[in-house]
Structure 1
Amino acid sequence: MVDSNFSTASALRSHYQDIILPIWRDAGFNQNVGLAYESVAADGKTPLPPVRYRAMACARQLFVFSLAQEWQHADALFASLRHYFQDKQHGGWFYSVDADGKPKERQKDLYTHAFVIFACAEYARHPHEKQAQQALALLEETSSLIESNMVDGTLFSSVMTEDFSGKISGPTQNPLMHLTEAWLAAAATTSQAIFARRLDKLISAFAGTFVDEATGCIAELPLNSDNNWIEPGHQFEWLFLVESSQHPAFEKAGMQQALYRAFDFVRRTGVDAQTGGVAAALDMHGTLTDSTQRIWAQSEYLRALAYHREAIVRAELPLQIARFGARFLTASGWIESQAVDGKIVRAELPSTTAYHLATAYATLS
């Protein structure tokens, strides 16, 4: 029986196991194509008509069911990932396929490739050797492809053409953060020294390109880019990655110290004092530019609180769990996005959100 108050970590996990996972195992999974629908309605039962299926969404679902050790469903998702999205001609992964499973958006983006690595790192814990080895092979193949085909200065392009011959978009924060997350997961799964070397190089280059000296915050675009901005949720996400991994490259690059300043900065400027709701975006000076509260940012706030080095801050976690549960969870699922006054901005339930909830809840005691 799910705790309708959702006020403890145990209640959050019960809600996830009893309400959220079944959505994507049952009504949210299109058995005909072997992929999760991109979204279901707020009732948690009605799939929205598919226009496309994204490789990143499939990879996130693969991670979710691998983490849950629901291997039969994970096997189906792993097979679909390779069948629909792997580009046999040019290498790498298509961004999306259409409703019939044919390549739709064929560009190669770093965000997608990072999530393939991340999902394969978890799927590689499979109890059967064959599946584990297939996951490890894809993990390394995709990592090597990024290094050979997506290099952009000292970092990596965010988006490239289908055949990797041209750059569509240069380095941006979010794909590089998820590549960091993916290589941390790969290092934990494989214990191979090559991932430590990859991380050392990536983190050093990233810090010099994105960390704002004035606030400690990580910008969404390279520093000094026009119309740059800060997302509070990403400051919390980075702090968790730094503290949970304790990878020495973070401290060497000064990111650990910077992110504690960033944590304080965005808590003052981007977290609603009454509800604990995390705003979507600030400008580089901390002025609120988008007050919308999305559930992923709230889940990252929980992770950051859980891993904060100061006990007085960690002590705030129970209150924030209760606020989160009351504000964002429902009997049929969750609220994806809402305004400060509680007006729902996005009513449907995207398949990608389960990843955020799974990773957040795993850190809570």
Structure 2
Amino acid sequence: MTADKTIQLLEELTTELKSNILPFWMNHAIDSKGGFFGQINCENNSFDAPRGGVLNARILWTFSAAFNRHQNAEYLETANHAYNYLIKHFIDNEFGGIYWKLDSEGKPIETKKQIYALAFGMYALVEYYLASDVSESLLLALELHQLIEKHSFDNEKNGYFEAFSKEWNKLDDLRLSDKDENVAKTLNTHLHILEAYTRLHSTYKDTALNKQLENLVEIHLEKMLDWETGHFRLFFDVDWNLKSELISFGHDIEAAWLIYEAAKETENLNLIEKSIKALKIIADATIYSGLAADGSLYYEKTLEHTDKDRHWWAQAEAMTGFWYAYQITNDKIYLEKVFKLWEFIKNHIIATNGEWYWSVNDKMEVNTMEGKAGFWKCPYHNSRTMLILTKSISNN
């Protein structure tokens, strides 16, 4: 029975990727004048809106990864479109790095260097290099890596600082978004540096990079993870003092599997063992305090309140995280969580006219205020879940 359900899952995830998610972006998001529209609403109407470096990088990663898996020429064509726009408009040729935000004509309107954006640029450029064999893409990824190490790494207290000005000077406002704390170091940025360094190291073996990746794994497991609760601490000052009690269920389960992949890439047996223990603790904590009765994942919680909205990206990352937990432990409780999440996504998150909705609330009402594409709404989380699970099921 489980085997039949897994085969059905393989078929459904493959169809979802090829027939719903990727076609939406190819049919609705591409601007024939270059780049991608900055905003698309739930009726699939596009708008002239600011364009984020993170969204462009995530589209580049998605279509590069999809091509690497399925060898569909249309995917590579879309990746080429994303790469060309990144190179032409988002790269700062004077000071290096990636601009945070452009207007709809491709002119920079926020030139700060958010390390989060550089990390996603790296992640995407490595994947594009593997898809296209364009050597400049790998060279640019290596350049971004060097900039992160030169400007962002804290040689005194360890870890990576959040953001800098165009000229790499200090900023007063370091936040990724209005909902974030204005602090020196965050889980979110560290997690995506780790993600990017993992992919870079898989393509470009380097002793120094390996050490940096080991250090990133240790930072996540020693400074950020609360082993007693199974949740990650999110916001820190320069000295690693905790500055918020917020818990993000989506980041917990996403971090669990990304750290395991990073540890594997280092080939450090001690770190691999610790990352496996962490993955199980985090997965169990997510089940205990993050899952609703219907199997979906709540958004976040503070000491006083749980935000019970179900965000698209968190459902996708939970599928991936529980799949990893199942693969490592062979405990079918995690597999059942994957199945239940997928049923929830099919029933409430997938839009009948393409892509996924941003979120639904606890009454299962769709959030139509946020569209299907935007500064933070991208194809990377859901596409990656489809790619990872279908590859894993096929290999097994």
TM-score by length of 2: 0.82
What does residue 315 of structure 1 align with? 335
Say if 1:314 and 1:225 are closer, same or farther in 2 by CA, change over 3 A.
closer
Say if 1:244 and 1:50 are closer, same or farther in 2 by CA, change over 3 A.
same
What does residue 379 of structure 2 align with? 354
Give, in angstroms, the shift of residue 355 of structure 1.
Answer: 0.6
For 1:126 and 1:110, locate their aligned partners in 2 and report how far apart those are by CA, in whole Å. Answer: 24
Partner deviation per Cα, 1:141-172 (whole Å, 9 max, x = no partner): 00000000112331111111221111443110
Give, in angstroms, the shift of residue 194 of structure 1.
Answer: 3.6
Give, in angstroms, the shift of residue 105 of structure 1.
Answer: 0.9
The letter of the residue matching 2:281 is R
- Determine whether 1:280 maps to 2:272: no
Alignment of 1:88-107 (within 5 A): 88-107=93-112
Correspondent of 1:207 among 221, 228, 233:
221
Number of residues paired by the alignment? 350
Partner deviation per Cα, 1:292-328 (whole Å, 9 max, x = no partner): 1101000011001211122223431333322222221
For 2:245 and 2:108, locate their aligned partners in 1 and report how far apart those are by CA, in whole Å. Answer: 32
The letter of the residue matching 2:63 is F
Give, in angstroms, the shift of residue 35 of structure 1.
Answer: 1.3
Say if 1:322 and 1:16 are closer, same or farther in 2 by CA, change over 3 A.
same
For 2:362 and 2:13, locate their aligned partners in 1 and report how far apart those are by CA, in whole Å. Answer: 22
For 1:154 and 1:161, locate their aligned partners in 2 and report how far apart those are by CA, in whole Å. Answer: 21
Correspondent of 1:239 among 256, 274, 287:
256
What does residue 46 of structure 1 align with? 45
For 2:269 and 2:254, locate their aligned partners in 1 and report how far apart those are by CA, in whole Å. Answer: 14
Q: Which runs of 5+ in 2 are unaligned?
A: 1-7, 68-74, 175-183
Give, in angstroms, the shift of residue 27 of structure 1.
Answer: 2.0
What does residue 111 of structure 1 align with? 116
- Determine whether 1:65 maps to 2:63: yes
Higher helix share: 2
Instruction: Give the SS at the match of 1:349.
Output: coil
For 1:65 and 1:116, locate their aligned partners in 2 and report how far apart those are by CA, in whole Å. Answer: 14
Give, in angstroms, the shift of residue 18 of structure 1.
Answer: 1.6
What does residue 342 of structure 1 align with? 364
Say if 1:165 and 1:282 are closer, same or farther in 2 by CA, change over 3 A.
same
What does residue 4 of structure 1 align with? none
For 2:252 and 2:269, locate their aligned partners in 1 and report how far apart those are by CA, in whole Å. Answer: 14
Say if 1:258 and 1:8 are closer, same or farther in 2 by CA, change over 3 A.
closer
Give, in angstroms, the shift of residue 250 of structure 1.
Answer: 8.7
Instruction: Give the SS at the match of 2:110.
Output: coil
For 2:89 and 2:79, locate their aligned partners in 1 and report how far apart those are by CA, in whole Å. Answer: 15
What does residue 11 of structure 2 align with? 10
Give, in angstroms, the shift of residue 230 of structure 1.
Answer: 1.3
User: Contact 2:217/2:259 (CA < 8 Å) preserved in 1?
Assistant: no
Instruction: Give the SS at the match of 1:260.
Output: helix
User: Contact 2:300/2:308 (CA < 8 Å) preserved in 1?
Assistant: yes
Instruction: Give the SS at the match of 2:108.
Output: coil
User: Contact 1:98/1:104 (CA < 8 Å) preserved in 2?
Assistant: yes
For 2:276 and 2:107, locate their aligned partners in 1 and report how far apart those are by CA, in whole Å. Answer: 43
Q: Which runs of 5+ in 1 are unaligned?
A: 1-6
User: Contact 1:306/1:363 (CA < 8 Å) preserved in 2?
Assistant: no
Instruction: Give the SS at the match of 2:51.
Output: strand
Identical residues among aligned pairs (%): 21
